[in-house]
Structures are given as C-alpha cells and as structure tokens.
Structure 1
Amino acid sequence: MNNHTLPHIIRQGLAGLFHICSHELKQVFKDQGVLIFFLLVPLAYPLIYAFIYTNEVVRDVPAAVVDLSNTAQSREFLRLVDASADVRIQSHCTDMEEAKTLLKETKVYGIIYIPADFNKDLSTGKQATVSLFCDMSGMLYYKSLLLACTNASLSVNKQIQIERAGNTTDRQDEITTAPIEYEDISLFNPQDGFASFLIPAVLILIIQQTLLLGIGMAAGTARENNRFRDLIPTSKHYQGTLRVVAGKSFAYLLIYLIVSAYILCLVPKIFSLVQIAQPSTLLAFIFPYLLACIFFAMTCSVFIHHRESCLMIYVFTSVPLLFISGISWPGAAIPEFWKAFSYLFPSTFGINGFVRINTMGAELNEVLPEYRALWIQSGAYFITTCLVYRYQVTLSRKHAIERLHLLRLRRMSAKMRKA
C-alpha cells in the first residue's frame, strides 16, 4: 500500500495537527504558571484596572495654599478654586516649606502659591502670576488642579475686564468678556472620564501581553523538560513544521476567543463603559488581531529558554507599548523612530482600531489601515513562526539522530568487549 498518496498525507497531517492541539491544551491546563497568564490574569486584571478608574474623574483633590498677597483679589481667586468640584483647599500655609512638608506626607497633592505682589501687579495693569506645584505621581491630580486654577483665573480676568471697561451695560460686559460663545465638549467622552479614555486601550494590550507571557512560559517549560533543551519533542506527530505551528496556534486561538469575548465585551458592560461597536465589525477586527498576537508570541517564544525569562523580558514593555501606541500620548508628539518601532507590535494597530470601533462607533471600512496592517502582521509573523519552528524541528531531529548514533556506538562497544 502506498503511504505517500495525497489523501494519506492529508489525513496524517490533520491527525498530527489535532494531536498537537489537544496536547497543547492539556499542557496549558496542567501548568499552573501558564494557566495564570492565560486565564487568571485576563480575568482579574481588566476588573482591577476598571475598578480603580470606575469613578472616571477625581473630585476634591486636597491642596495647600501659600497666599503671600492676602488681599481681596487673592482671596477671591482662592474662593473660586475651592468652589470648583475638582479641588478642595485643605491647608493655608505661612510659607513654602510648610506646604512642601504636607506634600511630602501626601496630605495634599498640590500647592497654590500666590506671590506678595499679586494685587499690586493687577492694580498697575501688569500681568500677575500664580504658581502651581503638583504631585506628578498621579496625572489626574495634576489635571484637576490645573483645570480648577485655569478656570478661576479666567473668571478673575473677566471681572477685571468688566471693572476696567467703565460705565457699561450688562450686555456690553457680556460681549467684552466673551465675544464668541463656545461650549467645550469632549467627543465620545463628554464626561472627560479616565476610564472611558484609557481602559479600552489597556484591555487590548492585556490580550497581547498575556499571550506573550503564557506562550513564552510554555516554551520555557518545554525546553526545561527536554533532555536536549529542544523546543519541539522528538515524536512522529511533530515532524511537520506546518502541523506544529497550526496545532499550537489553534489551541491558543480557541482559548483566546473566549477570553477576548470576556475582556472586550463583558468587562465594559460590567463597568458601564462606552460600548457602541457593531458585533460583526468587532469580531472581524479582533480575529486578525488575535492571529497576529499568537504568531508574534510564538516567534518570540523560541528565544525563551527558561520559564522565568519571559517575565523579565516582556512585563516591563507594557507601559512603553501603551505610550507609543498613540493613545495615552499624542501620536503627533511621538518621534518617527519610535513610531516606526511601534509598528512591529500588533497592539499598536489593535488599540487604535478597537478604540475607534468600540468608543467611536466606527465601521470596518473606517479602520481599514489598522485592519490591513493586522492581516499583514498575521501573515508576516506566521512566516517567521514557520521559519523558526522549522529550525527547531530540524534541530530536534538532529539531536535524535545523534542520540541514536551514540546508542549504536555504545552497543557496538559493548559487543566488542564481550567478544
């Protein structure tokens, strides 16, 4: 019987593929470390992040005041700041040293400094200065303090303009202080909430990072359990490169289709985040993103030789990847080198596309650049995965042949000693 016919080769390949897939699934659920990255972290981290920022904005940020002017104008400015919903003046200090002490003890998160010549400068028509010192460990504190002080300064400016305008009507005062009426509304995030802005990007990044960590740890475990430290075991089911890559990737895809549905659909619903994506559009976009992340992680996993190595290599990249994606930091302000470097990672296109689909209601034709880029990455990283795994299969076969050759030599040597 001819064992090299096309139907036989296909049946053998499919049998090997499903064997590798089932074996990989068993290894995932048997390995506690991999299980943590594939299930526990994706289940817990989105809840933690969303719960931390569930209030969307920070209110009543405690601040200290150093008012060296102590005049009606300076007190009016501070009254306006304290009346805002964002800031609460907690302490009036006599000097900056006392205020700095409160800041170091985290009793306040900002210092408002009004110099002694504040009222004098206003009276003589000079530009007065109010200094703001913030604890930059929390960007939301800085935002609240800056907005409150800016709005207070605008209100004081209007009052000064009206006073200097002379004998005018209320309508003239209104036109003088606000010649053009405007209303500031943030598109797709009218409440200026931090969770609605950042959490969607974090959710997409969690998928990539947990795949990198989980697949990397699985690769390190496979090497540690192999006597030759090979990634691919010497088994008849692992003889074809394509079946190895397809079997492993299919196992990871099955897991992450469920995980992604939880992360991207259920978590935003639990915390009432903006979620206006069309299900068909979201599914069509996420599928190439998962493939790109899986093949990218499998390509990177060949460089992992120990279980713990992936933790030291991949964990610290999460924050830089979030910044260079162009979401938490303006894309126009990112240097060209880092912008080009960010294109190597599926998260860059995944974050930008998902935010537009989920938060802005974009359709697939409106995120075509990101969608096409993800398919290109899927194809490119599939090729690199096949190349590196082909080398690993060849290396594993070479070590098996060397071992057989060594066994034969030992047997021949034993026979010669007996003779």
Structure 2
Amino acid sequence: MLVVPAVLFTFYAFIYQKQEAKHLAFAIWDDDQSAISRQLTFLLEQKESLNITRRVYSEEEVKRLINEGKILGAVHFPANLQKNIYSRHPSTVTLYTNAASLVPAKMIYKAVAEVIITGSTGVVLQKLVKTGMKADQAMALANPIKLNAYQLYNATYNYQEYLVPGLITVSMQMILIISCMLALNYEWKTETMEELYHCSNGSVINVIVGKTIAHLVVSWINFILIAFVVFPYFDIGVPSATGKFFVIYTFLSLACIGIGMFISALFKDVMLSGDVALFYTSPAFVFSGFTFPRWAMPWYDQYYALIMPYTAFLDGFFKLYYMNLPLKYAQGDLIKLLIFCAVMFPTAILLFRRQFNLVFDEKKEAKLID
C-alpha cells in the first residue's frame, strides 16, 4: 500500500515520457519522379509524425522492411501520376501500413491523407487559375467545403496525459482489493484472531470500520502522491479538477475496500482469496471501456464490466477530471460506487460475524472444560 504504488506510478509515467508517437519510420516509393510526386514527398517530410528514412522500389521491398521492423509504412506514387492528373484521369496513390501496430498505422494514415487531400486540392486550384479564374473563385471550386476540427480534452493526442491516469487508478483498484482481501482472514494465518476479538470487544462492526479507516487513510496518502507529486511532475491532468478527482477517488477506494473485505470474510484460506481477488481485478482495464468502447463488446462482457467498481469510476473520472465538469454530471457513477459499498460492507459483516462467533464459541467451550 505504501511502497508498490510509488514505484508503479512512476514507472507508468516514464513509459509514456515521449507523450506522442512522432517521427515514425516511413518510406517513399516513387515510380513517377515528377514535379507533383516530389512536391507531395516534400509535404510528407514536413509532417512531424513521419520520418522518411528510405526510398524503395517494389512492393516486396516494402513488405520486407515492414516485416523486419525497419519501417512502419510506405506510400507509392504510381507511374504517370502527373500525366494522368493533367489529362484529367484519376490516379491512385497507395499507402502501406503495419496494422499490427494499430496506433502508429492510424497516425501514418492521418498524416498521409492530409497531404494527399491538400495536394489534390492544390492541383485542381492551379488548373483553375491557369484558365484565368480568380484565386478566390478557384479556391471556392477546388475546396467548396472547409472542415474545422477541434480536438477536445486531449488535443495533442498525448499518451502520457491520456493513459497514465487510467493505469494509475486501475492499479489502485487492484492494490486496494488485494490488500483488503488479507484484512480479515490473515488474522487466522497469524493466529491473532483471538487478540482481534479482544481489541474490538467482540464487535464485528468495530473490526470492519477500523480496518476500513486504516486502508482508506493509506489510500489518501497515495492520492496525495498521485495528485500532488506524480501528476505535477509529469505535467499531467487538470489541476483545477483535483477536488472532484478526490471525491470520486474516495468513492472508488471505499468500494474496493468493501469488495476486499467481502472476499476476506468469504474465504478463510488466504491463497484462495488471493486467487479470487486477482481473477476479479486483472481484467478491469480491458472491460472498463478505457481502450475499447463497452457498447461494442458482447453483452455478457458488458455485464461483467458492471460488477467492477473501476467501470463506474472511469465513466465519472472522464467527466470530472478530463472534461472538468461539475459533480452533478457524475452523480449516476457515484451512486453505482455507493451501491458497491452498500452491498459489500454489510455482507462482509454478516460473513465475518460467523468467524467471530466461532472464536467466542471456542472460548466458551474452553472455559467449560476448565
């Protein structure tokens, strides 16, 4: 609870230190060798996401270099590209990408598509101007519809800004549940259950509340580490949303502690409870919808996602932290986390009371024997 989070959070943040995928190795295959193909190549060189490292001369060479990991994509300008354009015949430019690297492939496509669209518009514009048309009229014909794109909440597609908070918070769910699944049953392993019985005056509620407060305080210490050390150091997040982040983080912590207490009360065997906790928490990041929308998953996976508190937390976290919306927008997500608490804590109390009663019965039996 104290050592692992500090190491893990820093490790995650350093993975994405470069923040954006830039200077992706790229190749040019130019069979036209014309003024237009050279101009398009020049425009591609100006793209920050691309790094033109090679000239290639066949499709086999493109595939070989991609398979060897030396390039992530290539573009082919066909022979007679300029001639076809000037004679008003369509011409096809081919883009090769390594779709096994999904994100780089999409970034390469985006960069090349922008250049080809710009180049195509420029060619049409030149032809219209040469006919004697005014520049503004020619632009209206060559590019009749303008697109204004606004990227909200992560305008630069910053991986560190986007992924690190998600990885850190899902790690906190796992750490809290795994640590809390030892909160009760570990007393049997260390043979301190009778001592716990005396310390709590035989009250199960005192045990659950006391251990919950202890874990929650340590969870808040980790929040301080996240919000006031890791995020500021790596320039992550929205400082003005820290208060709302704390609210939903506390709800997540309580839900995870409740689940951990439930597992700990349900299984007396420490190894078995550890296996259950790992099985339950491991797929949280995948099923939460952080990297793939939940609505696109099979219906049974969507239901499985709902039984993990991180799913509700993530929905609220996006609204409160990334979008910096008022708390009322995450009201439904906070209620879902409260439901976890309302179900898990009372259930843990009922299950653990049986174990406490066993201690009391053993003590009573021992007195009778005496």
Tell me the TM-score range normalised by the shorter chain. Answer: 0.7 to 0.9
> Superposition RMSD on alpha carbons, in Å?
3.4
1:136 is aligned with what amino acid?
Answer: A
TM-superposed deviation, 1:89: 0.9
How many Å separate the matches in 1 of 2:279 and 2:73? 32
Structure 1 alignment gaps of length 5 or more: 1-37, 227-231, 412-419
Name the SS for the 1:90 alignment partner. strand
How many Å separate the matches in 2 of 1:333 and 1:116? 42
How many Å separate the matches in 1 of 2:67 and 2:185? 44
> For the Cα contact (< 8 Å) 2:12–2:164, is it kept in 1?
yes
Q: Which residue of 2 aligns with 1:161?
A: 124
> Cα gap change, 1:286/1:170 in structure 2, threshold over 3 Å: closer, same or farther?
same
Q: Which residue of 2 aligns with 1:385?
A: 348
| Residue 112 of structure 1 pairs with residue 75 of structure 2 | yes
Q: Which residue of 1 aligns with 2:263?
A: 300
Q: How does 1:100-249 map to 2 (within 5 A)?
A: 100-114=63-77, 122=85, 125-126=89-90, 128-134=92-98, 136-137=100-101, 139=103, 141-163=104-126, 165=128, 166-216=131-181, 222=187, 224-225=189-190, 233-235=193-195, 236-237=197-198, 239-249=202-212
Name the SS for the 1:274 alignment partner. coil
Q: Which residue of 2 aligns with 1:85?
A: 48
> For the Cα contact (< 8 Å) 2:183–2:261, is it kept in 1?
no
How many Å separate the matches in 2 of 1:212 and 1:275? 27
Q: What do residues 186-211 of structure 1 show as CA deviations (whole Å, max 9, x unaligned)? A: 11223231222222222221210111
TM (normalized to structure 1)? Answer: 0.74
> Cα gap change, 1:402/1:111 in structure 2, threshold over 3 Å: closer, same or farther?
farther
Q: What do residues 82-132 of structure 1 show as CA deviations (whole Å, max 9, x unaligned)? A: 221110110112333333343344332233345557667655533624132
> For the Cα contact (< 8 Å) 1:59–1:144, is it kept in 2?
no
TM (normalized to structure 2)? Answer: 0.83
Structure 2 alignment gaps of length 5 or more: none
How many Å separate the matches in 1 of 2:82 and 2:281? 50
Q: Which residue of 1 aligns with 2:3?
A: 40
Considering Cα pairs closer than 8 Å and 6+ residues apart, tell me whether 1 or 2 has the greater RCO.
1
Q: Percent identity?
A: 22
2:193 is aligned with what amino acid?
Answer: P
> For the Cα contact (< 8 Å) 1:277–1:357, is it kept in 2?
no
**Number of residue pairs matched?**
363
> For the Cα contact (< 8 Å) 2:255–2:341, is it kept in 1?
yes
2:212 is aligned with what amino acid?
Answer: S
Name the SS for the 1:342 alignment partner. helix
Q: Which residue of 2 aligns with 1:267?
A: 230
Q: Which residue of 2 aligns with 1:290?
A: 253
> Cα gap change, 1:307/1:260 in structure 2, threshold over 3 Å: closer, same or farther?
farther
Q: What do residues 47-98 of structure 1 show as CA deviations (whole Å, max 9, x unaligned)? A: 2222222332122111233444554444433332222111011011233333
How many Å separate the matches in 2 of 1:142 and 1:59? 12
Name the SS for the 2:22 alignment partner. coil
How many Å separate the matches in 2 of 1:107 and 1:308? 47
> Cα gap change, 1:206/1:213 in structure 2, threshold over 3 Å: closer, same or farther?
same
> Cα gap change, 1:64/1:216 in structure 2, threshold over 3 Å: closer, same or farther?
farther
Name the SS for the 1:293 alignment partner. helix
Q: Which residue of 2 aligns with 1:329?
A: 292
> For the Cα contact (< 8 Å) 1:56–1:196, is it kept in 2?
yes
> Cα gap change, 1:316/1:146 in structure 2, threshold over 3 Å: closer, same or farther?
farther
> Cα gap change, 1:164/1:345 in structure 2, threshold over 3 Å: closer, same or farther?
same
2:164 is aligned with what amino acid?
Answer: I
How many Å separate the matches in 1 of 2:77 and 2:358? 72
Q: Which residue of 2 aligns with 1:374?
A: 337
How many Å separate the matches in 2 of 1:181 and 1:77? 21
Q: Which residue of 2 aligns with 1:5?
A: none
How many Å separate the matches in 1 of 2:359 and 2:76? 69
> Cα gap change, 1:119/1:222 in structure 2, threshold over 3 Å: closer, same or farther?
farther
